[in-house]
Amino acid sequence: MFPGGDTRSSAHYGPYPLVMDRAAGCRMWDVDGNELIDFMNNFTSLIHGHGHEDIVLAVQQQAAKGSAYAAPSMDQIELAELIVERIPSIEQMRFTSSGTEGTTMAIRCARAATGRKKIMKMEGGYHGSFELAEVSLVPFPDRRGPLNAPVSLPVDGSFPDNVLLDTIVCPYNESDMARELIARHAGEIAAVIVEPVLGSMGMIPATPEFLGALREASLAHDILLIFDEVITLRLDVGGAQTPLGITPDLTCMGKIIGGGLPVGGVGGRRDLMQWFSPQRQQPVMHASTFSGNALTMAAGLAAMRHYTAAEARRINELGDQLREGFNRAFAQAGIAAQMTGAGSLSNVQFTSEPVHDARDSLAASMSAGHIPRLLHLAMMRRGVFSAARLMYCISTPMTSREIDFAITALNESLQELRPYIERERPGLLL
């Protein structure tokens, strides 16, 4: 029925994905009755886990009143007011139907505002399911070029050449190289887009120095800086940018602001957001059937009202506990692996060396062969559900009990897998 057994490439894993029956809090049950603790949370979007009482009530009440109006609702206005209040860089915003659409509209806004067409993105950065956003997502060793001059690479055979020509690839966490690339292409670049934590390639935090260099260089050359906070908005009620003290021109949002329903958003400086105004003579076109729909806005408003600064701190601390426990388990098992990440976002890397960028993460994955896949399945058999790429995230229903459960499952899984590692990947042994 489905090619590969699912309708999402990111959610696929072998030999076949589980089919879920129901979920509550931080737990899910598949159709065979197996219980799993959900450390994926639909790829970080379910900040309150499953079936939060107030979110369910908000959705039920709104569904009875209508799901979409092709007009604003009060929940839409109140959710936007909450976001603008929390994130100082956002003076105005628009909702979209996905994070992909949010980054698309941010890039189009930047091109219209600057009159330039090229975009600089980070090697290994993922900004949605469209070609430009996926350029050099995977820096294949035989084609990626030198670190100081990365080649724009397609992730598959669907990319037209002009997309590659319009995208300048910047090495992640390399401040001097970023400054040089921006200066060299300054007359062509409309915007620099960056994730404060490199998500798809291993939850690698950007250094404050690197993000500061991007801000400084973009300001010097009248280039817009776009923060893709679709994933990282959960790290603080004001997003990752608030504790970093860095103010982007535009911010892309998604995932947690929808309360578990499809959502995205873009916001930023008032003068930039005015490019979307229909009252403008030639506005940036943004028509999207389900943007700001009443059902998502009701769920999102309930979710964000419950996501307080105290809850953000608490789940970030649980993320610290998870990384410490996993790293201790790897060390005790004598296996060269570690868990990287920031706050409530984490990812396993099969290397004992520092993981600085996408090249480091890819090298670790390639050297591990099929061991990460075996670990993913071994953890599922013990009731721990993560992304197949071994990404973990924390939701607010979780406590130290779930963290300890996952750490115990990892210890047991490593004992089971060690004979395979000794035989097939001895280089992973410390």
Known catalytic membership, residue 228: yes
3-state secondary structure at position 291: coil
pLDDT of residue 72: 95
pLDDT tens per residue, range 48-99: 999 999 999 999 999 999 999 999 999 999 999 999 999 999 999 999 999 9
Per-residue pLDDT averaged across 278-293, rounded? 95
The residue ranking higher by pLDDT, 18 or 252, is 252
pLDDT tens per residue, range 361-394: 999 999 999 999 999 999 999 999 999 999 999 9
**Catalytic residue chosen out of the listed positions 13, 38, 126, 249:** 126
CB 241 within 8 A of CB 284: no
Q: Which helix (H) or strand (E) holds 259?
A: none
pLDDT of residue 132: 86
pLDDT at residue 3 tops 90:
no
How many beta carbons lie within 10 A of that of residue 155, not counting itself?
A: 15
CB 102 within 8 A of CB 230: yes
pLDDT at residue 6 tops 90:
no
Name residue 402's amino acid.
E
Q: How far apart are CA 374 and CA 159, in angstroms?
A: 32
Token look-up 């400054």 returns 179
In Å, how far are 61, 210, 237, 297, 306 from 54, measured between CA atoms? Answer: 10, 40, 19, 13, 9
pLDDT tens per residue, range 392-421: 999 999 999 999 999 999 999 999 999 999
Report the percent of the chain where pLDDT is more than 70.
100
Kindly state the tokens that stand for 134.
């996926």
The dihedral formed by the CA atoms of 103, 218, 216 and 212, expressed in degrees to the nearest 10: 20
Known catalytic membership, residue 16: no
Q: How far apart are CA 342 and CA 183, in angstroms?
A: 30
**Catalytic residue chosen out of the listed positions 38, 172, 249, 255:** 255
Q: For residue 357, which of 217, 202, 213 has the smallest C-alpha distance? A: 202
pLDDT of residue 164: 92
Mean pLDDT of the chain: 96
* Beta strands across the sheet bearing 167-170: 92-96, 264-268, 250-254, 224-228, 189-194, 118-122, 167-170
Token look-up 């600064």 returns 309
Q: Per-residue confidence at 322, pLDDT binned at 50, 70, 90? A: very high
Per-residue pLDDT averaged across 197-219, rounded? 97
What are the structural domains of the chain? 3-51+308-428 (3.90.1150.10), 66-306 (3.40.640.10)
Q: Which residues contact 74 (CB under 8 A, 6 or more apart)?
A: none
Per-residue pLDDT averaged across 262-276, rounded? 98
CA atoms within 13 A on the CB side of 379: 28
Angle CA(203)–CA(179)–CA(138) in degrees, nearest 5? 35
pLDDT of residue 61: 98
pLDDT of residue 10: 76
pLDDT of residue 374: 97
**Catalytic residue chosen out of the listed positions 228, 236, 357, 360:** 228
